Amino acid sequence: HIFLPTRFGGDQPVYINIIRDPVNRFLSNYFFRRFGDWRGEQNHMIRTPSMRQEERYLDINVCILENYPECSNPRLFYIIPYFCGQHPRCREPGEWALERAKLNVNENFLLVGILEELEDVLLLLERFLPHYFKDVLSIYKNPEHRKLGNLTVTVKKTVPSPEAIQILYQRMRYEYEFYYYVKEQFHLLKRKFGLKSHVRKPRPRPEFFIPSPLETEEPIDDEEEDDEKWLEDIYRR
């Protein structure tokens, strides 16, 4: 995410990435560090051998509500710094880092997808880069791949209380501004290519969830701009 290749005379590479809901990502990381996944019973002990037992079994609600370092800023500020870059201000939660991250997404990435809509991400990648992603959705849906994917599910993952989740949302407000911005751009991209969404209709959000902006999941019937010309413009950036 440094965006410097052209300074050394090379071609600008094609950047692609996928992000996920910030709170869900935080919770997966919290429990994965402690208990690993189904690929190996002792993976978590190898990964975090110095973690004390009281820390390993620390209740997630206590961690959040009592403001443990692991559950407070800047530990909750991670998506924006990655897309923002190497400037020191990219590590400071605020509007400057947020806007720079958005700019980098717009100017340097072919695609930033949403993990919750992974099948649509794969379909777009196959459309944009068929040489590398031909039949990628079929591979993803293959039973053997599904079986392997199930082994990466985090062990002992629990859902925090509504109060704790609300605090996480407040602490990660810039992360969510960026996440919803990327999600909106992703949905506009799906519409441009007439891609019907494969994401299931979400359950009603509890009151403590931050509402998302209007999502655009239905395809547009008519497009004035030719799809291939639009894709060529991206490669010229």
Q: What percent of the chain has pLDDT over 70?
A: 71
pLDDT tens digit string along 198-212? 555 554 444 444 444
Task: Characterize the bridge pairing of strands 15-19 and 109-114.
Answer: parallel
Cis, bond preceding 22 (omega within 30 deg of 0): no
Mean of pLDDT over the chain: 79
For the purposes of burial, counting CB atoms within 10 Å of the CB of 126, is it exposed (0-12), middle (13-18) or buried (19 or more)?
A: middle
Q: Do residues 198 and 117 lie in contact, with contact meaning Cβ atoms separated by under 8 Å?
A: yes
Mean of pLDDT values over 18-32? 92
pLDDT tens, position by position, 165-200: 999 999 999 999 999 999 999 999 999 988 865 555
Distance CA 147, CA 144 (A): 5
pLDDT in tens, 67-97: 999 999 877 999 999 999 999 999 999 999 9
Domains of the chain listed by start with CATH number: 15-193 (3.40.50.300)
Q: Give φ, ψ of 37 to 5 degrees.
A: -135, -170
**Percentage of residues of the chain with pLDDT beyond 90:** 51
Which residue is associated with the tokens 């794969």? 122
Ranges of beta strands (E only) in 77-182 are 109-114
- Helix (H), strand (E) at residue 107: helix 95-108
Residue 154, φ and ψ in degrees, nearest 5: -65, 140
Q: Are 75 and 68 in contact (CB under 8 A)?
A: no
**Mean pLDDT value across residues 46-73:** 89
d(CA 41, CA 22) in angstroms, rounded, equals: 27
Q: How many CB atoms lie within 10 A of CB 235?
A: 11
The larger pLDDT score, comparing residue 123 to residue 36, is at 123
Closest CA to 60 of 168, 209, 205: 168
First CA to last CA distance, the chain:
16
3-state secondary structure of 37: strand
